[in-house]
Chain A
Amino acid sequence: MLSLLKKNKWWGDNMKEFNPKLTIGIFSALVGILFASQVKMNIQMVTPVTINSIQRLELEIKSLRTEVEDLKLNIEDKQNYLTLIEDSNHSEKNIISVLEDERDKNMLLAGFKTVEGPGVEIVMFDNINSDELSFDFNDGIIHDVDMQNILNDLRVAGAEAISINGERVLSFSDIKCAGPVIRVNGRSLGTPFIITAIGDPKLLMASVSAPGTYAEMLTKVYGIGIQPYTKDKLVIPAYSGDFSYSYAKTVQ
């Protein structure tokens, strides 16, 4: 650097001569000013805007929209029901049929009615070839977690009713699974396990057979047998246990 200056090459021999260093210097200064102004602009806002925060906002909007949509549906539902009751208020007979309908609707949603419809039937069994790659005897057996994951996948695919070996699975169903026996709603059921789900057969089928699903992983890695079949008509029985609330109370 010093030698450059000594030779007076910094500014060139002639000032009028085109000097690349000078141009670069000016441009660097310009770019610097641009950057600085950009950064200053963001500092003015209290929180810096990042791509992440924008995506988060977009996600929040999406879920808020679904919530608002659901609320609107609920309100419409209630309004229809209200007009029904209002119309029925003139005669004694009608309120009873309105209430009966309401009770039946709630029974259906709660899983206390036998239902039929299209869907899938999945036959599951433990790994039979014990000498296959499984290093551990435990690996080839269907566990609780496996069952929960498969049920969750079916719900993601919009399953409307699910049963295991004829035992209705509800939100409060307790499923314990170890070895050749599965306990659903406190009842022991033997292998093979047959999961029945009513819903869109194509979606349900995809949720237990498409690449990357939990079910595929179970078959490929652990050799657990999972054979799904689509069916045009399946029957799923009503919940047979007696469930009663002893702690939970309705909020008045």
Chain B
Amino acid sequence: MNKKREKLAIIGVSLVLGLILSVQFKTINKTVGNGVLPTQRAQELANEVSKLKSEKELLTKQLEELENKVEQYEKEGISHDTYAENLYKDAMKYRMLAGYTDVHGPGIILEINDPPIDPQISDSYGIVDELDLLLQVISVLNAADAEAISINDQRYTSFTEIVRAGNHIEINGVSTGAPIVIKAIGNPDTLESALNIKWGIVWQLRNYDYVVNLTQNQDIKIERYRKAKEFIYAKPVEEE
């Protein structure tokens, strides 16, 4: 009787062990790919990341060179014509308004760190779960006459979407996550007080245990919008 029970127990344990092993194996296979060790796959991916990064750097440099050349040509072309000069100024003004130029100026930097993980509560939450709060920060900044805004170095434009993708946030199609750094150019005092007002957005964030850091800065640099946007549906109406 005793022996039988012992055997049964061992059979049970072996079955469970076998199941666990096969499940583990299957899940790893699914994410990593068939017949590859996870370490190998990670190596491969890391290689690709560094390759893409260097490609991005190269292309950025190329674009910069082109832009300099264009500017040079433009300036040459307009040098002896006031009408052309005004046209050029207008073109640049609207390019800036569309968010296609790097800008700098005084403003504020708002850093939002996720709440520290409380070991007593297993369920942690972060800014990814509460994108509303980011939208509210943008709204407050706009109400305080911010002239340019970026979130984790992604320029906020009229086409910028903030959307959750798994454990990450996608802004302008680029995935990012906590900590969130929002930069805004404008009157630093106005911007700061608008955010800091009692029961305001910073108060609210702190109330939810986010670690918030708000500083004024005399020279903030905000990068341009990088997406090449082309209207497919909206066509300009010719005004008389």
Please report A residues at the B interface, Cβ cutoff 8 Å: 20, 24, 41-42, 45, 49, 51, 53-55, 57-68, 70-75, 77-79, 81-82, 85-86, 88-89, 92, 95-96, 99-100, 102-104, 106-119, 144-145, 148-149, 152, 155-156, 159-162, 169-176, 198-200, 235-236, 243, 245-251
Closest to B70 in A: A82
Are the CB atoms of A70 and B102 closer together than 8 Å? no
Query: Among the interface residues A61, A74, A116, A174, which one has the most CB atoms of the partner chain B within 10 A?
Result: A74
A residues within 8 A CB of B27? 51
Are the CB atoms of A111 and B237 closer together than 8 Å? no
Closest to A71 in B: B59
Of the candidates B59, B76, B98, B143, the one whose C-beta lies within 8 Å of that of A109 is B98
Are the CB atoms of B66 and A78 closer together than 8 Å? yes
Please report B residues at the A interface, Cβ cutoff 8 Å: 7, 10, 27-28, 31-32, 38-39, 41-42, 45-46, 48-49, 52-53, 55-56, 59-60, 62-63, 66-67, 69-70, 73-74, 76-78, 81, 83-84, 87-88, 90-92, 94-107, 131-132, 135-136, 138-139, 142-143, 145-149, 156-163, 165-166, 168, 170, 173-176, 185-187, 221-222, 226-229, 231-237, 239
Are the CB atoms of A248 and B105 closer together than 8 Å? yes
Q: 5 additional contacts, CB 8 Å, given A78-B66, A109-B100, A171-B158?
A: A66-B174, A85-B77, A95-B84, A117-B235, A248-B222
Are the CB atoms of B107 and A62 closer together than 8 Å? no
Are the CB atoms of B103 and A251 closer together than 8 Å? yes
Give bound CA distance, A174 to B50, whole Å.
40
Q: Using known A-B contacts A65-B52, A248-B104, determine if residue A236 contacts B234 with beta carbons closer than 8 Å.
A: yes
Are the CB atoms of A251 and B104 closer together than 8 Å? yes
Main secondary structure of the interface of A (DSSP, over half): helix
A residues within 8 A CB of B157? 171
Are the CB atoms of A149 and B135 closer together than 8 Å? yes
CB distance from B71 to the nearest CB of A (A): 10
Of the candidates A107, A114, A250, the one whose C-beta lies within 8 Å of that of B101 is A250
Q: Using known A-B contacts A75-B62, A102-B91, A248-B105, determine if residue A152 contacts B135 with beta carbons closer than 8 Å.
A: yes
Are the CB atoms of A171 and B156 closer together than 8 Å? yes
B residues within 8 A CB of A104? 236
